[in-house]
Amino acid sequence: MLEAGKYLFSRKGIDATTIAQIAERAGVAEATVYSTVKSKSGLLHALMHDAIFGPRFQAAQERLVGVTDPVRRIALTAHVARAIYEERAPNSAPDEASASRELRKTQKAFEAIRHDMQQ
């Protein structure tokens, strides 16, 4: 479902893509999409979470485990921030962001999460 949503969102836009189209492309029933991600907003949230907090982020986080020296922790934290930004960049869609209220709302929520993590 995630791949189907990502494919359709990137080609048709978020607002023009329907749950029925996502279900058809994923080869599942619409009810499965709704029970799994609840809505297009839920699917978009899952896609952004995977894009931002994927393998590079996890690897950067793991480097922090067991590090107690505050100066070293700050230096390693920069790797975490960079992993988030670099994973996010290829997945952002500026044209879609200006057109889709849902994408702007989701991006804003992830920015708040990122800010909280950096604090």
Reported confidence tier of residue 24, pLDDT bands at 50, 70, 90? very high
CA atoms of 95 and 113, how far apart (whole Å): 23
22 contacts 5 by C-beta, under 8 angstroms:
yes
Q: What is the pLDDT of residues 28-46, one digit of tens each?
A: 999 999 999 999 989 988 9
Q: How many residues does the chain have?
A: 119
100 phi and psi angles, rounded to 5 deg: -105, 115
DSSP summary character for residue 66? T
What's the average model confidence in pLDDT over 7-22?
A: 92
CA atoms of 22 and 44, how far apart (whole Å): 12
CA atoms of 3 and 22, how far apart (whole Å): 9
Q: What is the pLDDT of residues 54-113, one digit of tens each?
A: 887 788 888 888 999 999 888 888 777 777 666 554 444 445 444 678 778 888 887 887
- Residue 56, Cβ neighbours under 10 Å: how many? 16
**pTM of the model as a whole:** 0.64
28 torsion bin: left (phi>0), alpha (psi -120 to 50), beta (else): beta
